[in-house]
């Protein structure tokens, strides 16, 4: 028996999270210009007149996972203490670079307070990484669970990353249940079909069914053991995240806004089909997952605009979540196009 494929999950996660931080910090990436002001003047700015504890905590929490992930990613190469120092310096340097770049974006304002909060969050995360990050390394509990339960090597690492990004998309209140891949807003296209209640419910059910089937089979393709339980757990976790996000972002009274008759019908049928197809050979499961993902992506782009969803979103003030919402929207739009190549390149477990 050959050696198990080498995994470098901490480095993969750290790199992906760095990309997410960069996107969230520079969103919406438009209107770049040079104002003529010195780019580092924000470092000596006075204490801002308007700030909230929410802003400080959010900025710190945004960089805490980055510091945490960087330590196990660097520790095999540098050792624990040096990894903590390097991780903290990386977080501070990244924040400084992004705050400086915000000088050239009219919708963003560089802030020394943000830089300080981000750096503190990165330092706390690095300290926590020195204590708990070893669970991601050889001999750690998470590493052992990952090796026992999921496909090894780079394919497994990227698959786990895809599942994490899929869970992130559930935080976007603008999509119907599991409605990833809608690129109409990105391309500024109108809905191709007019709205009627019956047409919308039918397409909604078909879309949710296809997306549910796809994610169930993708999760099964990634798992070595207990494939059906992992798939059910993933979908259940996504429903909990979707409900919690809607409760937080919609003033606490829209947590089950996703539970429409169409989405519940599609969810049920998708789960039944996922269970039935889970007995197929691995390569056939991947082919079915790809077809379901293609169908779900096509359907979500054909779906009429739902006036009831638009009315619900009117009570939502993105406010502090504006940049985060841009991140979840982009992830939702592109997730199927990231998952399809992974499905085509993945080699099933024997």
pLDDT per position as a tens digit, 215-237: 999 998 888 888 889 999 999 99
What are the CA-CA distances from residue 146 to residues 115, 123, 128, 153, 206 (Å)?
A: 35, 27, 20, 11, 33
Q: Which two tokens stand for residue 345?
A: 């390149």
In a domain, residue 300? The reply is yes
Radius of gyration, alpha carbons of the chain: 22
Per-residue pLDDT at 277 exceeds 90: yes
* Nearest residue to 99 (alpha-carbon basis) of 108, 86, 91: 108
Residue 15 makes CB contacts below 8 A (sequence gap 6+) with none
**Same domain for 311 and 266:** yes
Helix axes 197-222, 153-169, angle to 10 degrees: 150
pLDDT digit string, tens, across residues 39-65 = 888 887 777 676 667 678 878 888 999
Q: Identify the domain containing residue 76 by its residue range.
A: 9-145
Domain boundary among 145, 167, 183: 145
User: Backbone phi, then psi, for 150, in 5-degree steps?
Assistant: -130, 160
In a domain, residue 280? The reply is yes
Query: What is the average per-residue pLDDT within 137-156?
Result: 72
Cα(first)–Cα(last) distance of the chain, in Å?
12
In a domain, residue 350? The reply is no
pLDDT for position 3: 44
**Same domain for 57 and 117:** yes
pLDDT for position 269: 97
Lowest mean pLDDT: which of 15-29, 197-211, 261-275?
A: 15-29
- Between 149 and 263, the more confident residue is 263
In a domain, residue 37? The reply is yes
Q: Grade residue 202 by pLDDT with cuts at 50, 70 and 90.
A: very high
Per-residue pLDDT at 189 exceeds 50: yes
pLDDT for position 337: 93
- Between 123 and 34, the more confident residue is 123
Query: What is the average per-residue pLDDT within 317-337?
Result: 72
**Same domain for 237 and 141:** no
* Nearest residue to 270 (alpha-carbon basis) of 307, 314, 217, 191: 217
**Same domain for 235 and 138:** no
Per-residue pLDDT at 151 exceeds 70: yes
- Between 39 and 202, the more confident residue is 202
For residue 155, how far is the Cα from the chain centroid? 18
**Using a CB cutoff of 8 Å and minimum separation of 24, what contacts does 259-263 make?**
260/176, 260/177, 260/201, 260/204, 261/201, 262/200, 262/201, 262/202, 262/203, 262/204, 262/205, 262/208, 263/176, 263/177, 263/204, 263/205, 263/208
Q: What percent of the chain has pLDDT over 70?
A: 85
pLDDT for position 4: 44
Q: Grade residue 138 by pLDDT with cuts at 50, 70 and 90.
A: low
Query: What is the average per-residue pLDDT within 262-277?
Result: 95
Query: What is the average per-residue pLDDT within 96-125?
Result: 89
Domain boundary among 145, 176, 205: 145
pTM strictly above 0.85: no
In a domain, residue 62? The reply is yes
Q: Grade residue 5 by pLDDT with cuts at 50, 70 and 90.
A: very low
In a domain, residue 38? The reply is yes
d(CA 172, CA 300): 15
**Same domain for 247 and 329:** yes
- Between 265 and 226, the more confident residue is 265
Q: Grade residue 36 by pLDDT with cuts at 50, 70 and 90.
A: confident
**Same domain for 120 and 158:** no
CB 173 within 8 A of CB 321: no
Per-residue pLDDT at 113 exceeds 60: yes
In a domain, residue 1? The reply is no
**Same domain for 224 and 92:** no
**Same domain for 171 and 45:** no
d(CA 123, CA 111): 18
Helices (H), the chain: 9-26, 53-78, 80-101, 112-132, 141-149, 153-169, 184-187, 197-222, 227-249, 261-277, 282-302, 307-313, 322-345
Q: pLDDT averaged over the chain?
A: 83
pLDDT for position 254: 72
**Same domain for 115 and 242:** no
**Same domain for 227 and 205:** yes
Per-residue pLDDT at 6 exceeds 70: no
d(CA 25, CA 92): 14
**Same domain for 158 and 126:** no
Domain boundary among 120, 145, 170: 145
- Between 124 and 227, the more confident residue is 124
In a domain, residue 296? The reply is yes
Per-residue pLDDT at 79 exceeds 70: yes
pLDDT for position 329: 81
Domain count, the chain: 2
Q: Grade residue 106 by pLDDT with cuts at 50, 70 and 90.
A: confident
**Same domain for 191 and 171:** yes
Q: Which two tokens stand for residue 321?
A: 């979540």
């Amino acid at each position: 028996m050959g050696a198990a494929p080498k995994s470098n999950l901490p480095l993969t996660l750290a790199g992906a999270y760095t990309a997410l931080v960069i996107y969230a910090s520079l969103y919406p990436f438009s209107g770049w210009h040079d104002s003529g002001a010195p780019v580092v003047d924000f470092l000596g700015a006075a204490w801002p007149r308007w700030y909230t504890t929410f802003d400080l905590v959010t900025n710190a929490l945004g960089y805490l996972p980055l510091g945490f992930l960087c330590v196990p990613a660097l520790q095999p190469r540098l050792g624990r203490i040096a990894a903590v120092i390097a991780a903290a310096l990386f977080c501070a340097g990244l924040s400084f670079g992004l705050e400086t770049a915000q000088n050239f974006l009219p919708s963003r304002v560089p802030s020394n307070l943000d830089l300080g909060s981000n750096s503190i969050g990165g330092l706390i995360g690095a300290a926590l990484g020195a204590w708990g990050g070893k669970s991601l390394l050889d001999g750690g509990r998470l590493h052992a669970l990952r090796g026992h339960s999921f496909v090894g090597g780079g394919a497994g690492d990227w698959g786990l990353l895809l599942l994490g990004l899929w869970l992130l998309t559930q935080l976007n209140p603008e999509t119907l249940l599991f409605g990833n891949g809608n690129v109409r807003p990105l391309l500024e296209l109108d809905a191709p079909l007019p709205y009627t209640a019956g047409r919308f419910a039918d397409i909604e059910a078909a879309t949710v069914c296809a997306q549910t089937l796809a994610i169930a089979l993708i999760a099964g393709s990634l798992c070595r053991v207990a494939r059906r339980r992992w798939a059910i757990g993933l979908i259940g976790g996504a429903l909990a995240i979707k409900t919690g996000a809607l409760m937080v972002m919609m003033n606490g009274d829209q947590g089950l806004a996703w539970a429409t008759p169409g989405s519940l019908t599609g969810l049920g049928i998708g789960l039944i089909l996922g269970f039935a197809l889970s007995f197929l050979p691995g390569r056939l499961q991947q082919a079915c997952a790809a077809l379901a993902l293609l169908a779900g992506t096509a359907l979500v782009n054909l779906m009429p605009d739902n006036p009831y969803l638009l009315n619900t979103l009117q009570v939502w003030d993105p406010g502090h979540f504006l940049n985060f919402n841009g991140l979840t929207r982009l992830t939702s739009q592109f997730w199927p196009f990231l998952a399809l190549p992974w499905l085509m390149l993945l080699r099933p477990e024997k």
